Chain A
Amino acid sequence: MIHVEDKELVVPGQILAEEDYYSGRGTFKDGDSICSSLMGLVSLRNKKINVIPLKSKYVPKKGDVVIGEIDDVRFSMWGVDLNSPYSGILPASEVFGREKKELSKVFNVGDVLFLRVVDVDEVKKVKLGLKGRGMGKFKGGILVNITPTKVPRLIGKKGSMINMIKDKTKCKIVVGQNGLVWVKGEKGMEQITKNIINIIEAEAHTSGLTNRIGDKLFLLVDGKLPEKQEEEFEITPDDLESIEDDDGSNNENGNDSKINDNNESTDASTEEDELEKPKLENIKEEIESDLKFNSEKEDKNEKTSYLDTFNHLKAKNNNSHGLGEINKEDVSSPTLNIQNSSKSEDDNKIKPVTSWKKKN
């Protein structure tokens, strides 16, 4: 018998289920009943119950990659603070083998390192190493601290979230499994990235987070967009249609007179689409800004790419109207066609609109 739902918030000691179920992480068995040992969210997998904590401390595990700060230099090892109840040690032999050098000349107190946990023994003595790709000392940048359990959320599915942030802010970001995040880029962008990461931490449990973070990124990174977005906040049914129109023209494309420009962006959007669907409405904005920029540029090589575009579209729109037909038609008619297609193609576009409404 089960007493909770998936993703339900539970408190320590709360009875989650009886019999038939297996006790997973964050739970314990008391007689027949399975109880939560943490304040967190339930995750049900088949018959196994886990509780994912809202807050936690990092406990070092063999094989983890972590970010640590040197807090002690001793005769043959460095002491490393891992943002955990347990501090790590980095033996000199891990860094320069048999050679003997003065340790403080290589790393000194305050240096931030990207490390691998080589071994953790029974009394939680943590041995660290520098062997591996990208391991070593960070130069410059800032450190952001998040709860270790929220690291997966920051990275996203197949890195969708972190890559989005990287793309937008042009910052280098390294995430350690101990909840420390190193960010380096332009000073302003570093701060933006830090804010974004903090938002992700605070709202890690909410749904549609990647979407909202995308919006926020645009607001913070591109100075122009805030005003534009605010216009879009007040959405009337007409606005809604016009938004769909824009999206539609990008997807269907070829119906507009600016074939070339649209085609380029279509390729981009479909590619992105495969990677991560909810991001679509950002791409729209990206495309819009790209359009203005590109339309001037691409006029020159219009002739060469026109044919390519035509073939490309033909292959794409096999099931819909022949392209020739549409070209003959009036400018106003394609919009009708577009609306239908955009609705049928995916619901993603409509969702963001409603979320903006809520914000307002």
Chain B
Amino acid sequence: MISITKNDKRDDGRKFDEIRPLKIEAGVLERADGSAYLEVGGNKILVAVYGPRESYIRRLLKPNTGVIRCRYNMAPFSVDDRKRPGPDRRSTEISKIAAEALRPSLMLEGFPRSMVDVFIEIIEAEGGTRCAGITAASVALADAGIPMKDLVVGCAAGKVNDEIVLDLSEKEDKEGQADVPIAMMSRTEEITLLQSDGNLSEDEFKKALDLAMEGCRQVNKVQIEALKTKHAQDVESES
């Protein structure tokens, strides 16, 4: 195995508890009700939100509340080898877990029989797209003006060369020993997504979970800033 961690630095020069450089921009699409663009490390993700709108799939609508639908899709050019376009097992899974991670934050009781559509498009992938996708989707939902209890924020932790590290890159994910992506609500710190891939001892898992939650708090600050600066720009462009 290639050495990915040296002393207290990782392969890409980060510390064990450091996230990759993160940039979020809200309201980038004109025609969507809400949208967000996110870059973290080598990831480029675009999220569009439509709704609440009249459900065009009758069997999905609920008479007492609105529903959220999510679609996670990777562009064919988003990875080194061309990805065959269209839904596959992995993207179907991520679509489902993203919708379930976001649902607890939304207050759709005021919109019965309606539907909110979230489209997560991965333009470029470099590890940790599901967490980044959820983070961006929550910003886009807030941008769409959908009532929600909290912003949902995602971040991953994992084990690489027997060290617990935060926010795994693609290389670390592939060559590392474990990956724990989580999503949580920023204020209440309720966890809405918890997955684990690889082998971790109980202590290691606890450590990874704590680290991932700390990462979420950092990402949340960028989320809030993105939403606020988008608005501040509107004011500036006028004067």
Contact = CB atoms under 8 A, between A and B. Distances in A.
Give the dominant DSSP class at A's interface: loop
Contacts of A67: none
A87 B114 CA distance: 11
B39 interface: no
Given A12-B151, A55-B144, A86-B54, A37 B107 contact: yes
B220 to A, nearest CB: 9
A9 B226 CA distance: 12
A155 B235 CA distance: 20
A35 B187 contact: yes
Contact of B147 (A37, A122, A147): A37
B149 A28 contact: yes
Interface in A35-73: 35, 37-40, 53-57, 59
A118 to B, nearest CB: 19
A9 B233 CA distance: 13
Contacts of B147: 12, 26, 37-38
Contacts of A12: 105, 142, 147-151
Contact of B227 (A26, A39, A56, A86): A39
A11 B224 contact: yes
Contact of B33 (A15, A37, A55, A203): A55
B149 A123 contact: no
A26 to B, nearest CB: 7
A206 B238 contact: yes
A56 B145 contact: yes
B234 interface: yes
A295 B185 CA distance: 70
Contact of A202 (B34, B107, B234): B234
A15 B149 CA distance: 10
A241 B202 CA distance: 78
Given A12-B150, A123-B112, A55 B187 contact: no
Contacts of A203: 234-235, 238
A81 to B, nearest CB: 9
A94 B145 CA distance: 34
Contacts of B224: 11, 14
B7 interface: no
Contacts of A292: none
Interface residues of B, number: 38
A57 B145 contact: yes
Given A11-B227, A13-B185, A59 B111 contact: yes
Interface residues of A, number: 34
A358 interface: yes
B114 A86 contact: yes
A173 to B, nearest CB: 23
A269 B235 CA distance: 31
A159 interface: no
Contact of B63 (A37, A123, A147, A205): A123
Nearest to B107: A37
Given A11-B227, A55-B143, A37 B148 contact: yes
B206 interface: no
Contact of A11 (B33, B113, B228): B228
A321 interface: no
B54 to A, nearest CB: 6
A85 interface: yes
A54 B145 contact: yes
Interface string A142-164: 00000100000000000000000
A300 B120 CA distance: 74
A359 interface: yes
B178 to A, nearest CB: 30
B231 interface: yes
Contacts of B185: 13
Interface in A64-92: 85-87
Given A12-B147, A37-B107, 13 more contacts: A12-B149, A12-B150, A12-B151, A30-B188, A57-B51, A86-B54, A87-B54, A123-B112, A147-B145, A203-B238, A205-B231, A205-B235, A212-B238
Interface of B: 33-34, 51-54, 63, 66, 105, 107, 110-114, 142-145, 147-151, 185-188, 223-224, 227-228, 231-232, 234-235, 238-239
Q: Which A-B residue pairs are the 3 nearest by beta carbons?
A: A55-B145, A13-B150, A85-B114
